[in-house]
Amino acid sequence: MFDQVKDLLVSDFKVPPSQVTTTATLVDLELDSLDVVELAEAVDNKLGAKISDDEMFELGTVGDIVRLIESRVRQADD
């Protein structure tokens, strides 16, 4: 799932691939508040995991986002 999130950040938000690590924060990736809202929408549309804007703002790192997406995808499969 990390690779899918990384691809999303690189292709949709033009984040340099070398900056996308599990410990990188959204601030590290220079995503502003509009980007974060759009990221939440893109995760829902492209990865099938519903994450609210508020939840996305609260997540600390890319790794946290990946873990939440994996959790939501597992819940949807149950």
pTM (two decimals) = 0.90
pLDDT in single tens digits along all 78 residues of the chain: 999 999 999 999 999 999 999 999 999 999 999 999 999 999 999 999 999 999 999 998 999 999 999 999 888 776
For 23, phi then psi, to 5°, come to: -95, -5
Q: Contact, 61 vs 22, CB < 8 A?
A: yes
Answer yes or no: are the C-beta atoms of 7 and 42 closer than 8 Å: no
Q: Which two tokens stand for residue 52?
A: 């609210």
Q: How do the domains of the chain map onto residue ranges? A: 2-77
How far apart are the C-alpha atoms of 76 and 63, rounded to whole Å? Answer: 20
Q: What are the tokens at 66?
A: 């990946």
Superfamily of domain 2-77: ACP-like (1.10.1200.10)
